[in-house]
Chain A
Amino acid sequence: MRRSQESRIIAAVLRCYPARWRSRHGDEATVLASALLEDGTPWWSIARSFLGGAAKERASRKPSLRIGSVLAAITLGIAAVPLVLFASLTPASASGTHVTIVISKPGDAARQLESAFATHHFRIAVVEMPASTNLVGSILSISTVGASSDNGGTIREVRGQCNGGGSDCVVGLVIPLHYSGSARVMVGVPTTLEHVQHSYIAKKLRLP
């Protein structure tokens, strides 16, 4: 197929987009399509991508679909209210006293957590894991065993400032005072050359 024919087909596909989209992106989309054709991207691949995009764009703006979504959301919301009320009254969700443990020294996070867990007789193991600078001193993951109803409640994360300056790291835990389950917490520590060497050797020897 000649290039002019390919361009005409793509131009026709772009007309499937709503007028508002075309006035904003249409010009650039035409330039982009030409550049992709020059690069060797198949015309049908470009056309298919634009067709899919046009369908999603129209579906996201169709008033009847929006109203339908709003009505569905309201119906679900109304139906959920009695469920929420019921859940708040069940014994399983009744709140008791909790222990809040927050890491105050990222460089000594593992020791802080171990000490706090031991003080409250929690059966929670702490594992150190090499991590990027931003995650050093934060909790990377927590694995619990058993259902929260059997363990005396659910452990919640406390989020705060990351070591490297980001604002969304797990820096502590809120644990039910009578938490009886087992868990393992992974804490980020600086990656050292030793870690890299050990990992490299382990991979080569296929060690666990």
Chain B
Amino acid sequence: MTSRELGDSPDVLRRAGDASVLILTSLADGPKHGYALIQDIKGFSGVQLGPGTLYGALDRLERLGLIAELPSEDRRHPYRVTGAGVTALRSHLDALERVSMTGRLRLGLGTV
């Protein structure tokens, strides 16, 4: 166990940007290449990720060790989420849930 000041979270995705979270969420149910990522993300979030943003986030996530590239298929490079990526995504989603619940409580919206 570790002790930290209030608000000092090890959530590595907190500053990574929305695109990184969306990509990890998409890869959580299986490897995908760029086009499949864009389509899947649009489907579950309504966000149309630009290709430039996509590649920037993929490179960043790979540098962080949260995703890994798979052998290319027909000029496309699929990616998969790593164990570290699953852990990071879970921590980030927990952090988001805490914020969501606090916000909903303060707005009187209920928590579920």
Chain B interface mostly? mixed
Cβ-defined contact, B102 with A203, below 8 A: no
**Contacting residues of chain A (126-155) with chain B, CB-CB under 8 angstroms:** 129-132, 134-135, 140-142, 144, 154-155
A46 contacts which of B50, B91, B109 (Cβ < 8 Å)? B50
Write the nearest CB–CB distance from B104 to chain A, whole angstroms.
9
Which residue in B102, B109, B111 is a CB contact (below 8 Å) of A195? B111
Among B1-16, those with CB < 8 Å from A are 1-6, 8-11
Chain A residues lying within 8 Å of B4, measured Cβ to Cβ, are 156-157, 159
Number of B residues whose C-beta is below 8 Å from A?
A: 39
Contact status B94-A141, CB under 8 Å: no
Question: In the complex, which of the residues B35, B55, B72, B111 contacts A35, with contact meaning CB atoms closer than 8 Å?
Answer: B35
Given contacts A28-B34, A202-B110, is CB(A53)–CB(B102) below 8 Å? no
Q: Are A174 and B56 interface neighbours, CB within 8 A?
A: no
A162 to B94, Cβ gap below 8 A?
yes
State whether A171 and B1 are in contact (beta carbons under 8 Å apart), knowing that A32-B51, A154-B6, A166-B94 are contacts in the complex: yes
* A→B interface (CB under 8 Å): 21, 25, 27-29, 31-33, 35-36, 41, 45-46, 48-54, 56-57, 100, 102, 129-132, 134-135, 140-142, 144, 154-160, 162, 166-169, 171-172, 174, 186, 191, 195-196, 198-200, 202-203, 207-208
Jot down 20 A-B pairs with beta carbons below 8 A, ordered by A: A27-B75, A31-B35, A32-B34, A33-B51, A50-B50, A50-B52, A53-B51, A53-B52, A132-B97, A134-B90, A134-B94, A140-B98, A155-B6, A157-B4, A158-B1, A159-B3, A159-B4, A166-B94, A172-B1, A196-B112
